[in-house]
Amino acid sequence: MHTKRSLTGDRPTGRLHLGHYIGSLQNRLELQKKGYDQFVMIADVQALSAQAEHPEKVRENILELALDYLAAGIDPKKTTIFIQSLVPEIAELTVYFLNLVTVLRLGQNPTVKTEMVEKGFTKTVPAGFFMHPVNQAADILAFRSDVVPVGEDQLPMIEQTNEIADKFNRIYKKTFKKVAPLLSKTPRLPGIDGKAKMGKSLGNAIFLADSGKEIREKVQKMYTDPKHIHVSDPGRVEGNTVFTYLDAFDPDVKEVQRLKKQYQEGGLGDVALKKRLAEILESTIRPIREKRQKLAKNPKAVMRILEKGTEHARTEAAKTMHVVRKAMKIDYL
């Protein structure tokens, strides 16, 4: 087994979408192939921090998320998939880490700031949500990860994790290594509405479980160039969501270059362009969707995978806590 560790997670707040796939999942598959000791976490504690009053939604999305992982190619024989709340060592580490962070610093975290606006939390943010960067630091460091394959929105979280690790090492004892983010070539996929980020809670996502019809309908709605009305009109490529997606998903880079040129000069219609994109997305998603449908027939087997993964994750996190308690001089008995 590779000596390098990787940890990532997703909140069980909905199904996975193309943003996850291109921004993080593909890199996880790559690390899996390279033999990294990889952990993939279903971040239910974090999901609850934003919707404590809807535990049923978090619960139902545990299986959905696990199905997405397995269908996309995460192999439980090579990667440990686990549920965050069932590894209480992470909660314990979070509490100790909270002493190493100021409230002021938490309020400056750009990811938290953006998410607070998205979730309407500017005046009513739960303390648990406000401090979730600390919880994320505990997730990553409980497994002493070297690398975290994430989307661009998560970079401030990795920065804060390294700050916490540094402070812990300085105050107590050198325990944690520096963690590096692993970004993909599309670190932020915009939504079909052309907005900054595709997000599962933002109503602008194409999901890995979407049908061919849903994909076509969503691509139809995509934002292009509002001034490009007739096929013969010259059109804009920059900020044109269809081209952003072709850049991300179309394997034929040369052809995309040719299409861009044709679009800019005039003579390429949105209908033809969108047809191409819908077909490419369908060929990306179809095998995932089909595998997902098969796996969904046996939810018990999927839950058993999570049970085994969680057991292993807990053992590994407990090893870290042993070292942490010693470093903090709280290994009394």
Whether 92 and 134 have beta carbons less than 8 Å apart is answered as no
Tell me the closest approach of the beta carbon of residue 22 to ligand ATP, in angstroms.
6
3-state secondary structure of 5: strand
- Per CB under 6 A, 153 contacts ligand ATP: yes
H helix and E strand count, the chain: 15, 5
- 3-state percent breakdown (helix, strand, coil) of the chain, nearest 5: 55, 10, 35
- Per CB under 6 A, 195 contacts ligand ATP: no
Q: What is d(CA 262, CA 269) in angstroms, rounded to the nearest whole number?
A: 10
Q: Which stretch binds ligand ATP (CB under 6 A): 68-76, 147-155, 210-218, 313-321?
A: 147-155
Q: What is d(CA 97, CA 49) in angstroms, rounded to the nearest whole number?
A: 17
- Per CB under 6 A, 280 contacts ligand ATP: no
Tell me the closest approach of the beta carbon of residue 233 to ligand ATP, in angstroms.
30
Whether 145 and 39 have beta carbons less than 8 Å apart is answered as yes
* Binding residue count for ligand ATP, defined by CB under 6 A: 20
- Per CB under 6 A, 150 contacts ligand ATP: yes
- Residue among 88 and 187 whose Cβ is closer to ligand ATP: 187
Contacts of 267 (CB under 8 A, 6+ apart): 231, 232
Q: Which stretch binds ligand ATP (CB under 6 A): 33-41, 162-170, 184-192, 310-318?
A: 184-192
- Per CB under 6 A, 198 contacts ligand ATP: yes
Binding-site member from 15, 23, 27, 277 for ligand ATP (CB under 6 A): 23
What is the DSSP track for 59-78?
HHHHHHHHHHHHHHT--TTT
- Per CB under 6 A, 154 contacts ligand ATP: yes
Tell me the closest approach of the beta carbon of residue 28 to ligand ATP, in angstroms.
10
Other CB atoms within a 10 A radius of the CB of residue 152 amount to: 17
- Per CB under 6 A, 181 contacts ligand ATP: no
- Per CB under 6 A, 48 contacts ligand ATP: no
Binding positions for ligand ATP, rule: CB under 6 A: 10-11, 13, 19-20, 23-24, 150-151, 153-154, 187-189, 197-202
